[in-house]
Structure 1
Amino acid sequence: MKPLLITVGSRGDVQPYLALAKGLLAAGHQPVVAAPRRFQPLAAAHGIDCVPLNDEMLDLQDLAKGKGARAAMAAARSVKPLVRRVLDDEAELAHRDADVVLYHPKSLGGPYVAEKLGVPAIAGLLLPLYVPTAAFASPILPVRLPRALNRASWRTSSVIEMPYRGLIRTWRAEALGMTGGFRPVADVARRGAVLHAWSAHLLPAPADWPDSARPTGFWSMPAAVDWAPPERLARFLEEGEQPVYIGFGSAVGRDPRALTATVLEAVRLAGKRAVLATGWGGLRPGTEPDGVLVVEDVPHDWLLPRMAMAVHHGGIGTVAAALRAGVPQAVRPFIGDQPFWAARLHRLGVAAAPLGGRLTPARLAAALDQAARLAPAARTLAGRMAEEDGIATAIARLESAPGAAKSD
């Protein structure tokens, strides 16, 4: 096969696609990944052919880093011209030789590139988004609904693209030369094929999903066993008991400094050591108190197995890394699907009760104590997940997609 994988967003959106591409290479296929330009070095390190996409949106997010939710919202208002530039880069992909397109919904243009190429389009989903079920409501819904409305709630999947629908329609006509038969991304994905890239041990397929929607397992890069930590991190880990990992990734609260103060006081109250990951500004410590180390970018697959537990925002990338590491979790969700995963982890018995609402040092300290008691359950679940091979399962389904494979 010559699969074309299109993804945009943060590292959590890109790395699973690179992991799948690495697996496709090992299986004898010829994958190409189109991803934001800043991830080219990561792709190159794994021998993956990567086409750079405009990443000015990530630059804009970097400018808002550490400045709180108001700055993040102001940056969002400047996004539409940048979306068009990404789409224009994606239009160039329609000149490549590919026989299947796997796309992240955030790419917006993925299914139309496949349409122009005349090849199957498959949505590669890191969370439940388009296949409706009566078993639970759409994870991106911000409110809880009566169970009877679960299936209807899945219509909200279109909100991801809705602000850009006119822009996408215009781009499809101008850049791809296709003026008729436009269908929104949500409709294309809902009627087409999907690959659900999470573990069935985290969230099994409900009974009303077709077999094709069964989760494959996570798409994970091999552990970074050769990664060498900075000396100060290595020394910190050797100096005392296992610390708590605390990081909120790309989530940005209203007041990063207040959140940091809350976290530091909770760590003190709980009598824990901690590694604080600053991420995109969710945490902005001015100093390092005793027993606390501040880091910016450390591979989760290296760091989390060395932690006593993980405190995070509930992004699926961090959820997956903590599950694989076998560490208990405490989740302070912010937006989107994060409350869904926080509740799911708690229900599985590997995370403290979700820390929604107003976060106080006492509440977080209590969650740390609760999570510590869940360590045996977290290790057991990690052992079960280790038996899955999400990449092999995804490749097998790609190979069986109608029209996806070409014989030599």
Structure 2
Amino acid sequence: MRVLLVTTGSRGDVEPFAALAAGLARAGHDPLLAAPRRLTEHAAGRGVPVAPLDDGIFALQQEVAGKGTRASVTAARSALPLLRRWLDDVATLQDSGADIVVYAPKSLGAHHLADRLGVPSIAALPVPLFSPTARFASPLSAVRPPRFLNRASWRLAGAVEAPYRRMVRGWRSEVLGLTGPTPNLTDRVAHDGVLHAWSPHLLPAPDDWPAALAPIGFWSAPSDDWTPPDNLTRFLDAGEPPVYVGFGSMLAKDPDAFTLAVLDGLARSGRRAVLATGWGALRPSHVPESVYVLDQAPHDWLLQRTSVAVHHGGVGTVAAALRAGVPQVIRPFLGDQPFWARRVHEIGIAAAPLTGRFTADRLAAALDDATPMAGAAREMAARVREEDGVTAAVARIERTVARA
């Protein structure tokens, strides 16, 4: 079975797909992972076949981050041509010989490619976005509406694709040669079915969902081939487990001030720390000996050697901290991050989310609040590690192809 997997976004978006690709290969199938060029190198190094796609849109996002409204408006005018280049790269996968396309809905064109190939497709999501429930509001909702408006809030997912719908419709016709109406994402995901790739211990299926929508577990793969630098090993061995601080691909409006608040909060708490600078939320220049700075490190290796994980609330980092069994402190930035920040707090393994103004005092207090949750975090980790989301996903994909 030849499986084409198409995803986009940050490293946290790509790594679960890489883990699924590896699981498909172990099961005797032939996967191909198509993802932004800058994020395929790691997967290729682990033996996953990759198709690098245009990633100009991410360079644009980094260029304008924190530069104000005028830069954002200029970037918006540049975004559509870059997204068209992305779609044109997706179209080059027509010769992949795929028997099925597994796609992240925000990749925009993958399900249309499946139509061109005449094969089934299935959506994959690490967060609930297209499956309404009355039990809680859409994770994209910026506010928590009254309960009777929960189901209505799920229309937000459809609005996300609205700025690109005309462009996608033209690309589908001109490049793929497909005629007829262009299905919107909400309807298409409902038609295709979806693999909900998060742990039911983190968020169980609401009781008004059909069984097919139940979450099947995270998709992860160990970083067995990673060797830490000697100075990191020495730092970890030199004292109590440090706090991990990293905000992934998030970009702070004022990285210098944000970094100073982080360092001041750590000093006030009296804790050692490892800072992962990522894409730019943290920009340390002078740090005390109690702080070790690195670009990034595999979460599955590093987090189990820390005491608390301070991060942005991306579901990939939430999952890694869950498996590591460490309590969490979350400073959400955007999207579904506030949703996950509230959720891990509700289940007793994270401090209250650091929304609003971020200060050193609030960070120090949150670290004090999170530390006593270590026991609950370890118990949750034991349950999450028993799951095998990759194997469950492979079985669903096999059944979908067999039915087709």
Cα distance in 2 for partners of 1:72, 1:134 equals 39
Alignment of 1:382 with 2:376, yes or no, is: no
Structure 1 match to 2:111: 111
Query: Compared with structure 1, are the counterparts of its residues 88 and 260 closer, same or farther at alpha carbon in structure 2 (3 Å cutoff)?
Result: same
Contact 1:69 1:253 in 2 (8 A): no
Cα distance in 2 for partners of 1:181, 1:94 equals 21
Structure 1 match to 2:169: 169
Pairwise CA distance, 1:71: 8.8
Contact 2:261 2:360 in 1 (8 A): yes
Higher relative CO (Cα under 8 Å, sequence separation at least 6) belongs to: 1
**Could you give the per-residue CA deviations for residues 16-51 of structure 1, whole angstroms, max 9, x where no partner exists?**
001001000000111111111223322222222211
Structure 2: which amino acid aligns with 1:310?
A: A
Structure 2 match to 1:347: 346
Q: Tell me the number of residue pairs that the alignment of Structure 1 and Structure 2 aligns.
A: 403
Structure 2: which amino acid aligns with 1:248?
A: F
**Could you give the per-residue CA deviations for residues 187-215 of structure 1, whole angstroms, max 9, x where no partner exists?**
21133210000001001111111111111
Counterparts in 2 of 1:145-184, with a 5 A limit? Answer: 145-184=145-184
Bigger drift between 346-355 and 286-295 goes to 286-295
Pairwise CA distance, 1:75: 4.1
Cα distance in 2 for partners of 1:353, 1:330 equals 7
Pairwise CA distance, 1:281: 0.7
Alignment of 1:137 with 2:137, yes or no, is: yes
TM-score by length of 1: 0.95
Cα distance in 2 for partners of 1:162, 1:232 equals 49
Gaps of 5+ in 2: none
Counterparts in 2 of 1:304-319, with a 5 A limit? Answer: 304-319=303-318
Pairwise CA distance, 1:277: 1.0
TM-score by length of 2: 0.96
Cα distance in 2 for partners of 1:72, 1:121 equals 37
RMSD, aligned α-carbons: 1.6
Bigger drift between 105-114 and 177-186 goes to 177-186
Contact 2:100 2:401 in 1 (8 A): no
**Could you give the per-residue CA deviations for residues 118-175 of structure 1, whole angstroms, max 9, x where no partner exists?**
1111110011010111111100111110011111111110132111111101100111
Structure 2 match to 1:235: 234
Contact 2:247 2:276 in 1 (8 A): yes
Q: Percent identity?
A: 56
Structure 1 match to 2:196: 196
Gaps of 5+ in 1: none
Contact 1:69 1:252 in 2 (8 A): no
Pairwise CA distance, 1:69: 6.4
SS at match of 1:279: coil
Structure 2 match to 1:21: 21
Cα distance in 2 for partners of 1:248, 1:349 equals 21
Cα distance in 2 for partners of 1:106, 1:193 equals 15
**Could you give the per-residue CA deviations for residues 59-112 of structure 1, whole angstroms, max 9, x where no partner exists?**
3334456x5666983545422111001100111222321111110112100110
Query: Compared with structure 1, are the counterparts of its residues 96 and 227 closer, same or farther at alpha carbon in structure 2 (3 Å cutoff)?
Result: closer
Structure 1: which amino acid aligns with 2:34?
A: A
Structure 2: which amino acid aligns with 1:258?
A: A
Contact 1:307 1:327 in 2 (8 A): yes
Structure 1 match to 2:256: 257
Counterparts in 2 of 1:41-60, with a 5 A limit? Answer: 41-60=41-60
Structure 2 match to 1:245: 244
Query: Compared with structure 1, are the counterparts of its residues 21 and 296 closer, same or farther at alpha carbon in structure 2 (3 Å cutoff)?
Result: same
Structure 1 match to 2:391: 392
Structure 1 match to 2:120: 120
SS at match of 1:176: coil
Pairwise CA distance, 1:335: 0.6
Query: Compared with structure 1, are the counterparts of its residues 70 and 134 closer, same or farther at alpha carbon in structure 2 (3 Å cutoff)?
Result: same
Pairwise CA distance, 1:333: 0.6
Structure 2 match to 1:362: 361
Structure 1: which amino acid aligns with 2:182?
A: F
